[in-house]
Amino acid sequence: MTDVSAAIGRHQADLRQCSRCPGMVPPVIVGNPVASPVYLVGQAPGAKEGALGKPFAWTAGKTMFRWFSGIGVDEESFRARVHMAAVCRCFPGKNPKGGDRVPDPLEIEQCSAWLRAELEILRPGLIVPVGKLAASRFLAFGQLAEIVGKQHRVELCGVAADVIPLPHPSGASTWHRREPGKTLLEAALALIGSHPAWRDVCSRNAR
Ligand code: SF4
């Protein structure tokens, strides 16, 4: 086991015990403890992920993994080779007006400490935020169309990385099924597929 693998294992053991946010529904959902050059950031787990014990385990995940299969990595390989994180790692509960509650600013800030620690440990070459909330942790923008389909260079926590945002694959969103979202999604996936960190992930055996 490498030093990075050991460090991410210790980090996840601490993260699983976190109970900083009283409004969140446990358990803490984490992906596999993968030491990967590609770091995926979702919004927050949904209602089903707690029982299934892994991120993107339900309908949005099916759509997202179909996107990644199209650029060479199926779901099983993705979970084994890409580090999967989120803006918040617990289910925020339902919004009385429909859908899942969006995490509040304090919850986002509290959970960002885990995200920053992961960036420092993993030092990824490519960050893939999924959805507007995740993208806003790395980029300043107004509309999603301003940033999807482009590669951005950022420096965070002393780590320089490329950021290629994706729209959220939720069935509730039509953004990625209509223009310009459809074309911008294709452009973003092509950029991810040709990025050196992604090619590294494609070529390596699961670690
Ligand atoms: S959302 Fe994040 S900070 Fe809040 S309790 Fe869950 S793991 Fe902890």
Tens of pLDDT along 56-76? Answer: 999 999 999 999 999 999 999
CA of 179 to the centre of ligand 1 (A): 35
CA of 8 to the centre of ligand 1 (A): 17
Query: What's 66's domain CATH number?
Result: 3.40.470.10
What is the value of pTM for the model shown? Answer: 0.96
CA of 102 to the centre of ligand 1 (A): 13
Query: What digits encode the pLDDT tens for the residues 27-40?
Result: 999 999 999 999 99
CA of 163 to the centre of ligand 1 (A): 24
The confidence band for 150, taking pLDDT boundaries of 50, 70 and 90, is very high
Please determine, for residue 18, whether its predicted confidence score (pLDDT) is greater than 90. Answer: yes
The pLDDT value given to residue 205: 63
% of the chain exceeding 70 in pLDDT: 98
The pLDDT value given to residue 98: 84
180 preceded by cis ω (within 30°)?
Answer: yes
Amino acid at 116: R
% of the chain exceeding 90 in pLDDT: 90
The confidence band for 97, taking pLDDT boundaries of 50, 70 and 90, is confident
Q: What is the total count of domains within the chain?
A: 1
The pLDDT value given to residue 135: 98
The confidence band for 1, taking pLDDT boundaries of 50, 70 and 90, is low
Instruction: Using the structure block, give the residue that is written with the tokens 């209602």.
Output: 47
Provide the angle, in degrees to the nearest 10, between the axes of the packed helices 3-15 and 105-122.
Answer: 160
Sign of the CA dihedral with 10 first, then 14, 16, and 21 last = negative
Q: Ligand 1 pocket: which of 11, 15, 20, 43 to mutate (most atoms <8 Å of CB)? A: 20
Structural domain for 58, as ranges = 3-203
Q: Pick the atom of ligand 1 nearest to 107's CA.
A: 4
Please determine, for residue 188, whether its predicted confidence score (pLDDT) is greater than 90. Answer: yes
The pLDDT value given to residue 171: 79
Mean pLDDT of the chain: 95
Query: What digits encode the pLDDT tens for the residues 112-146?
Result: 999 999 999 999 999 999 999 999 999 999 999 99
Residues having CB within 6 Å of any atom of ligand 1:
18-21, 24, 28, 88-90, 107, 110-111
| Percentage helix, strand, coil for the chain under 3-state DSSP, each rounded to 5 | 40, 15, 45
CA of 56 to the centre of ligand 1 (A): 17
Please determine, for residue 207, whether its predicted confidence score (pLDDT) is greater than 80. Answer: no
